[in-house]
Structure 1
Amino acid sequence: MHPVVTTEAPTARQHPDSYAVTAEFYDILQADQDEKRVRHLYGRQVAKARLGVLDIGAGTGRVTLMSLVESQVDVHAVEPARAMRTSLLTRLAVLPARQRERVTVHPHALDQASLYAVVDVAVCHNTVACLPPAARDVLWPAVRAALVPGGSLFLQLPPAVLPTRDIVRLLPEKRVGEHVYGGRMTMSTAGYRIRTRVDYWVRSEQGVLREHTETFWMWPASRARISADLERHGFVPLPGHDDPRVLAVTRPDRS
């Protein structure tokens, strides 16, 4: 009998032990692909930062590390989940001191981090989808407070609608020594939310050694809905940015 671990739906404020299972598997199965994605989506904007970069929901650190390479400014990495934060700090520990000293890791949700006018670029990657509407309403004013006037927010949009059928995606397997790591992600509609179940396994030539499962919940929202919410909190569209995968807004120069 293989151990199976399941976590339940997150509340508006992320539990510190969220992602306890996924943290072991995320980097080996998904980080290479995500590293290329964040560089493509946000690299040019991060390189223009002149004050600081805010990484909202830093996870194991793909946006944080990219920001250290592409910019010369301070980076604020916000990650409430202990398991993901542990991976992030382990990665930061091996960096040269000059880079490491530019990063501050905040172990709270952004509204608890007390960041005021410290950055001119904020990135929210792979995070908004996992926040219910009430948590988003708490996030936006905290982002606005962290940005200086004229600063910009770039965020990856959540799914716009509920899936009409189950969506299954296999994660490419990776070998580590004698063991092979793999995973499968299944997204399905559950009421007004999307249930995302991720099954992980580790196998050897003799067969499966371990299996684990973790369940996440996502709240769909259209681009128009997110844009309207941000407008209510004082953001306006950033001209010249029409990538369908990323919503770009700015805090106007006026207060």
Structure 2
Amino acid sequence: MHPVITRAANARPRPDSYAVTAEFYDVLQADQDEARVRRLYGREVARARVGVLDIGAGTGRVTLMSLAGSRVDVHAVEPARAMRTSLMTRLATLPARPRERVTVHPHALDEASLCAIADVAVCHNTVACLPPAAREVLWPAIGTALVPGGSLFLQLPPALIPVRDVLRLLPEKRVGEHVYGGRMTMSAAGNRIRTRMDYWVRSAEGVLREHTETFWMWPASRARITDDLARHGFVPLPGHHHPDVLAVTLPTRR
């Protein structure tokens, strides 16, 4: 989950947000996430003719896929310093030509002053981490960043608060002599979902380190997100009906 900071006071993470998760994210989830973003957005990114906007870029799965799958400029928005550090390190290893096509914005989208820079925007694994007030700041900023006729592909947040705790174990990965593992627990907390990430590193002798980081998620139905975007000029994109992704577009005349 990659937060997009906005001016809404209740949406601004601490400067060290994701400081724990950034160390473990790529090791434990990168392969699965890379396949997911290619499946969900690869075809749309390949059709970009103006630019691609990656909202909540995290460690760069959508950004790297966009550089490989298109010939346009890519704008990666990632305010969280820890996640952005991993992204920048990965971009630094690229050859000069693709590296020159990507710009990393260390601000909220509404603070980045991006206007008509893309015809494809991807918001992956991000909206769930934004409270309703922050989403209302994000939608018009996306509209400004897109050219008329541009499209947004948005991974939907959970529709409902879980009635009981949901536990997910992350597949362990070996790095040299150490094994990295993690566990995600989602539980109800009023109108929010509390998501606790537990990580560990162990050797043959036992556990070496354990870390915990907690995130908050705000559920919203597809209909709710669709209605919110409609108030900012977005309409459903015909021919796109994926259960996990909402596809909308800005009409050429608004």
Q: Displacement, 1:12?
A: 1.2
Is residue 139 of structure 1 aligned with residue 126 of structure 2?
no
Across the aligned residues of Structure 1 and Structure 2, the Cα RMSD in angstroms comes to 0.8
Q: What 5-or-longer segments of structure 1 have no aligned partner?
A: 1-9
Aligned to 2:174: 175
Q: What are the residue-to-residue correspondences of 1:78-89 with 2, within 5 Å? A: 78-89=77-88
Find out whether 1:238 has 2:237 as its counterpart.
Answer: yes
Gaps in structure 2 of 5+ consecutive residues: 1-8
User: Aligned pair 1:164/2:163, yes or no?
Assistant: yes
How far 1:14 sits from its partner (Å)?
Answer: 3.3
The question of whether the paired residues in 2 share the 8 Å contact of 1:14 and 1:80 is answered with no
Alignment of 1:31-70 (within 5 A): 31-70=30-69
Alpha-carbon displacement from aligned partner over 1:18-39 (angstroms, at most 9, x marks no partner): 1000000000000100000000
**How much identity, in percent, do the aligned residues show?**
83
Residue 212 (structure 2) aligns with: 213
Deviation at 1:144, TM superposition (A): 0.1
Name 1:204's counterpart in structure 2: 203
TM-score using structure 2 length: 0.96
Give the TM-score taking structure 1 as reference length.
Answer: 0.95
Question: CA shift at 1:16, angstroms?
Answer: 2.8
| Aligned residues of 1:18 and 1:83 also touching (Cα < 8 A) | yes
The secondary structure found in structure 2 opposite 1:210 is: strand
Distance between the aligned counterparts of 1:178 and 1:93, measured in 2?
27
Detail structure 1 runs of 4+ shifted over 2 Å in the superposition.
13-16
| 1:139-185 C-alpha deviation (Å, 9 max, x unpaired) | 00000000000000000000000001000000000000000000000
> What secondary structure sits across from 2:49 in the alignment?
coil
Alpha-carbon distance in structure 2 between the residues aligned to 1:186 and 1:145: 36
Q: Which residue of 1 aligns with 2:121?
A: 122
- Distance in 1 between residues matched to 2:134 and 2:201, nearest whole Å: 35
Given that 1:13 and 1:135 are in contact with CA atoms closer than 8 Å, whether structure 2 keeps it comes out as: no
- Classify the secondary structure of the residue corresponding to 2:62: helix
**Residue of structure 1 equivalent to 2:6:** none
Task: Kindly indicate whether the alpha-carbon contact (under 8 Å) linking 1:13 and 1:109 is maintained by their aligned counterparts in 2.
Answer: no
Work out whether residues 118 and 146 of structure 1, in 8 Å CA contact, stay in contact via their aligned partners in 2. yes
Cα distance in 2, alignment partners of residues 136 and 17 from structure 1 = 22
**Aligned residues, how many?**
246
Matches for 1:94-109 after TM superposition, within 5 Å: 94-109=93-108
What aligned pairs does 1:221-232 form with structure 2 within 5 A after superposition?
A: 221-232=220-231
SS at match of 1:11: helix
